[in-house]
A = this chain, B = another copy of it.
């Protein structure tokens, strides 16, 4: 497959790892000294919110800092309209993202009501922004060197 397709699929595996809360899978997508940098977009003038250094710490953040899914819940980190540039063994990808939470209704003891039809539950977009990543080819595999998450919305960090 083309280098651009390979780069796009790294981001596809990134969102799978996020939704599976799979820190080990996330860690393997980054070079050992990879970085995640988080920003608030602020109408085009991004303000830094925090960062993670190293593939190990990035994996630990996925397993430990992201909330587990609630009962009957799941999430979908989705990406859109990638702009990919490849130059030899380095590449960049700029993509829009939307994050959805889904929560299924609990089936009543007597089954769904008579008129019910189709999916039963809620699909709600909760986050949006841009991912801007730089990648390096290590052997035949593309890995993320720096991954910027630029949130449209302000982000609250829980207080003790």
Count of interface residues, chain A, beta-carbon cutoff 8 Å: 61
Q: How many copies does the complex hold?
A: 3
Report the minimum CB–CB distance from A67 to chain B (whole Å): 7
A127 CB–B CB distance under 8 Å: yes
Instruction: Give the distance in Å from the alpha carbon of A67 to the alpha carbon of B126 in the complex.
Output: 23
Looking at the assembled complex, report how far the CB atom of A142 sits from the nearest CB atom of chain B, in whole angstroms: 13
A102 partner residues in chain B, CB cutoff 8 A:
128, 152-153
Complex contact A125–B124 (CB within 8 A): yes
10 more A-B residue pairs beyond the given contacts A78-B80, A79-B80, A118-B126, with a C-beta to C-beta distance below 8 A: A2-B5, A67-B117, A72-B154, A78-B96, A99-B119, A105-B154, A117-B156, A119-B126, A120-B156, A121-B153
> In chain B, what residue has the closest Cβ to A41?
B74
* Bound-complex Cα distance A15 to B111 (A): 30
Interface of A toward B, CB cutoff 8 Å: 1-2, 4-5, 9, 11-13, 15-16, 20, 41, 43-44, 67, 69, 72-74, 76, 78-84, 86, 96, 98-100, 102, 104-105, 107, 111-112, 114-121, 123-128, 151-159
Residue A11 contacts which of B4, B81, B123 (CB distance < 8 angstroms)?
B81
Would you call B9 and A83 a contact (CB within 8 A)? yes
Chain B contacts for A73, CB-based, 8 A: 43
Q: Please give, as numbers and ranges, the residues of chain B lying within 8 Å of A78 by CB-CB distance.
A: 80-81, 96, 98
Chain B residues within an 8 Å CB radius of A20 = 44
